[in-house]
């Protein structure tokens, strides 16, 4: 059964993500012959620019939220939490399909059995992250032998035989900046603040964690700079206005919270003035 979901509007958070230590988000290694890199990064097929698939950031945020939510349940059963109702051997991923669950309502859930649980559409979408114009220009000038990236040798040792297993891993260099955008669909106006608190919290945790591969080797430290929060209600879309509200005063407090009365008013008004 598919849970019925309202659509009150959309909220967009955008800004830049800075790569603090070399970042590796791997593509399938079908291009081994090109340049002899064992582990290439994902690239746009047209421009050949390295980019970060939105699914990589979204997956990381989901796994961090699963872990923080599970931790907050304190006495939760790990086997039960990281599995799916109705069976399957899906482990290490949470999917309870309960509409009130902060993880499932944010990232979506599909029930493995028709008669158990709900299919929840994801509220959060993450756009692909592309290099800012300045970073792209800078990286084009790199002289590493690779287009816009660097490579790093990792010398893995086989723990049993002590045989060296050298590999070349391609990375997006430190200092590069990507544009990011998160798109949140408002399906329940009473959960907007809770959901966004979770998003912001996971972004902060991610800054102290790692994005992409080889995080334990120090890869993938990133830093988010939020620049703009845009709210669009149904009225915005119907009237063709650009946006109902633009917030760009990111200070100590997340602007959605400091402007909450205004935001709540927008959604309430949207309702009151429903076109008949
Ligand atoms: Zn859940």
Residues (pLDDT < 50) of the chain are 31, 33, 272-276
Q: How many angstroms does the Cα of residue 69 sit away from the middle of ligand 1?
A: 9
| Token pair listed for 82 | 């990281």
Q: Which residue has the tokens 């509200």?
A: 245
- How far does the centroid of ligand 1 lie from the alpha carbon of residue 57, in Å? 19
What is the secondary structure of 174-209 as a DSSP string? TT-EEEEEEEEEES-GGGHHHHHHHHHHHHHHHHTS
- pLDDT for the residue numbered 145: 87
Would you tell me how many other CB atoms lie within 10 Å of the CB of residue 250?
15
Residue 26 backbone dihedrals phi, psi, to 5 degrees: -80, 145
Q: The whole model's pTM is what?
A: 0.89
How much is the pLDDT for 164? 76
- Residue among 238, 237, 256, 254 at smallest CA distance from 246: 256
Query: Which of helix, strand or coil describes residue 135?
Result: helix
Looking at the DSSP bridge assignments, the partners of residue 125 are: 183
**Residue 257 Cα to ligand 1 middle (Å):** 25
How far does residue 70's CA lie from ligand 1's centre (Å)? 10
Cα separation values, 229 from 79, 125, 260, Å: 38, 15, 12
Q: How many angstroms does the Cα of residue 264 sit away from the middle of ligand 1?
A: 26
Own/partner long-range contacts of 198-203 (Cβ < 8 Å, ≥24 apart): 198/65, 198/68, 198/102, 198/106, 199/13, 199/61, 199/106, 199/124, 200/254, 201/68, 202/61, 202/64, 202/65, 202/68, 203/61
Cα(14) to centroid(ligand 1), Å: 26
187 Cα to the center of ligand 1, angstroms:
17
CA of 267 to the centre of ligand 1 (A): 26
Ligand 1 midpoint to CA 62 (Å):
11
Strands 177-186 and 130-131: antiparallel
Scan for tokens 């946006």, then name that residue.
243
Contact indicator for 213, 25 with CB cutoff of 8 Å: yes
Please tell me the distance from the alpha carbon of residue 192 to that of residue 178, in angstroms, as a whole number: 26
* Partners of residue 168 on adjacent β-strands: 153
Domain boundaries, the chain: 9-131+175-272
pLDDT for the residue 273: 45
Q: What local confidence, expressed as pLDDT, does residue 2 receive?
A: 57
Please give the pLDDT value at position 66: 94
Distance 104 CA to ligand 1 centre (A): 4
Q: What is the pLDDT of residue 253?
A: 87
pLDDT (0 to 100) of residue 252: 85
Report CA(65)–ligand 1 centroid distance (Å): 10
The pLDDT assigned to 271 comes to: 55
Query: What's the gap in Å between 230 CA and the centre of ligand 1?
Result: 27
Contact 238, 11 (CB under 8 A): no
Q: Which of 33, 106, 35, 22 is nearest to 69 (CA)?
A: 106
Place of tokens 């958070």: 13
């Amino acid at each position: 059964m598919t849970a019925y979901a309202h659509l009150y509007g959309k909220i967009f958070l955008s800004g830049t993500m800075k790569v603090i230590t070399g970042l590796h988000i791997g593509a399938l290694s079908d291009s081994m012959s090109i340049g002899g890199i064992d582990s290439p990064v994902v690239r746009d097929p047209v421009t050949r620019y390295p980019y970060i698939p939105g699914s990589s950031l979204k997956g990381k945020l989901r796994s961090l939220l699963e872990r923080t939510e599970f931790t907050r349940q304190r006495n939760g059963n790990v086997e039960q939490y990281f599995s799916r109702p109705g069976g399957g051997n899906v482990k290490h991923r949470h999917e309870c399909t309960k509409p009130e669950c902060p993880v499932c309502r944010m990232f979506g859930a599909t029930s493995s059995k028709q008669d158990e649980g709900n299919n929840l559409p994801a509220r959060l979408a993450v756009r692909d992250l592309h290099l800012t114009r300045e970073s792209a220009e800078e990286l084009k000038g790199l002289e590493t032998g690779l287009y816009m990236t660097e490579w790093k040798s990792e010398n893995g040792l086989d723990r049993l035989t002590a045989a060296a297993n050298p590999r070349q891993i391609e990375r997006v260099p430190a200092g590069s900046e990507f544009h990011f955008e998160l798109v949140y669909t408002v399906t329940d106006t009473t959960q907007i603040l809770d959901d966004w608190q979770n998003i912001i919290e996971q972004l902060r945790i991610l800054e102290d964690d790692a994005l992409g591969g080889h995080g334990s080797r120090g890869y993938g430290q990133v830093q988010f700079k939020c620049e703009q929060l845009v709210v669009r209600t149904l009225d915005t879309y119907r009237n063709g206005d650009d946006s109902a509200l633009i917030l760009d005063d990111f200070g100590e407090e997340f602007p959605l919270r400091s402007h909450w009365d205004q935001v709540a008013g927008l959604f309430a008004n949207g309702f009151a003035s429903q076109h008949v």
